[in-house]
Amino acid sequence: MHGNYIINSLLSACLLENGGEIGGEDCVKMHDVVRDMALWIACELETKEEKFFVKAGAQLFEEPDVKA
């Protein structure tokens, strides 16, 4: 339930938007400004050997299984 708390906190702060339902599952959308900031942070961290996977509109229900 920790993830739900984080999602609800971000929704309350208007950092995520209600995305309706897809296949009976509640969805959220990330505001463009928040997405741009997240990508900027990821780019900054990537220079320190961290790796990130970003795909817009992926409608993920689980994190992808990506091997580095």
pLDDT in tens, 22-44: 888 888 888 888 888 888 887 77
Angle at 62 between CA 38 and CA 67, to 5 degrees: 75
**Domain ranges (residues) in the chain:** 2-46
Average pLDDT over residues 52-65: 65
Which pLDDT score, from 0 to 100, does residue 33 have?
A: 85
**Distance, CA of 12 to CA of 40 (rounded, Å):** 23
Instruction: Decide: pTM greater than 0.85.
Output: no
